[in-house]
């Protein structure tokens, strides 16, 4: 925690220094505004994050820099989503998506469909959430980024689990698992094995559920995920 916090603060300080030394209203300043917005967001300072998103949008409008504007609007959507202000988050994501479609930002389109799907899932609108995640998956498969594809598989699995479509949930979780194993993504492997354990548990297959919760625990221990380890102990305890 201390090291991560130091790195984040150091990066933010560097960005703020770069901003103060940039006296030109150009796209580099917009990129810096957006980067600062993101750094404040990941430290949960949503007020400051929103301030820099607004500054970015104002300058984007002056320079007609649509890509930067779409990114800033997306960050505002993230802020509302984190605060459970889902209707406002959807509005912002859709505004961002419209711009990304206009400028043919394919990667950004996929990411925004993913964000919209997550908000709709949180709202309980599972059919529309699934529709948006499938759109995100289609784009991500075209781009070929394994980490993003695996994320979409996992999101689709979660929706099927919420709908009690257990076979489909397992299918997409194992698809995610396959990609995560290729990338040796231990953090995501821990989460996905946990999710598979939960699906098997919902089916009443406690032997398989225990097998995957134990695998989840293994990966979480390897990366020192204390919260994840505690969760695994709890899930395993319920099955023994």
pLDDT by residue (tens digit) across 168-222?
999 999 999 999 999 999 999 999 999 999 999 999 999 999 999 999 999 999 9
What is the tens place of the pLDDT at every residue in 110-137? Answer: 999 999 999 999 999 999 999 999 999 9
Which pLDDT belongs to residue 240? 78
Average pLDDT, the chain: 93
Query: How deeply is 181 buried, as exposed, middle or buried, from its count of CB atoms within 10 A (0-12, 13-18, 19+)?
Result: middle
Alpha helical stretches, state H, the chain: 2-21, 27-42, 46-63, 66-82, 86-103, 106-122, 126-143, 146-162, 166-183, 186-203, 206-223, 226-239
Is the per-residue pLDDT at 15 higher than 80? Answer: yes
Which pLDDT belongs to residue 83? 97
Of 240, 239, 217, the closest CA to residue 230 belongs to 217
């Amino acid at each position: 925690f201390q090291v991560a916090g130091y790195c984040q603060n150091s990066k933010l300080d560097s960005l703020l220094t770069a901003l103060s030394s940039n006296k030109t209203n150009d796209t580099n300043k917009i990129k810096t505004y957006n980067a600062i917005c993101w750094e404040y967001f990941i430290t949960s300072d949503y007020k400051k994050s929103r301030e820099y998103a607004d500054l970015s949008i104002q300058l984007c409008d002056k320079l007609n820099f649509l890509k930067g504007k779409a990114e800033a609007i997306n960050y505002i959507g993230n802020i509302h989503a984190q605060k459970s202000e889902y209707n406002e988050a959807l509005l912002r994501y859709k505004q961002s998506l419209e711009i990304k479609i206009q400028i043919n930002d394919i990667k950004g389109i996929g990411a925004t469909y993913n964000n919209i799907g997550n908000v709709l899932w949180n709202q309980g609108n599972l059919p529309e959430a699934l529709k948006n995640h499938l759109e995100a998956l289609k784009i991500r498969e075209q781009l070929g980024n394994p980490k993003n594809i695996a994320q979409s598989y996992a999101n689709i699995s979660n929706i099927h689990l919420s709908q009690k479509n257990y076979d489909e949930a397992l299918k997409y979780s194992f698809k995610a698992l396959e990609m995560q194993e290729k990338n040796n993504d231990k953090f995501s492997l821990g989460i996905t094995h946990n999710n598979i354990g939960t699906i098997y548990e919902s089916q009443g297959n406690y032997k398989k559920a225990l097998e995957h919760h134990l695998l989840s625990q293994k990966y979480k221990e390897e990366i020192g995920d204390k919260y994840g380890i505690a969760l695994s102990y709890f899930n395993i305890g319920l099955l023994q």
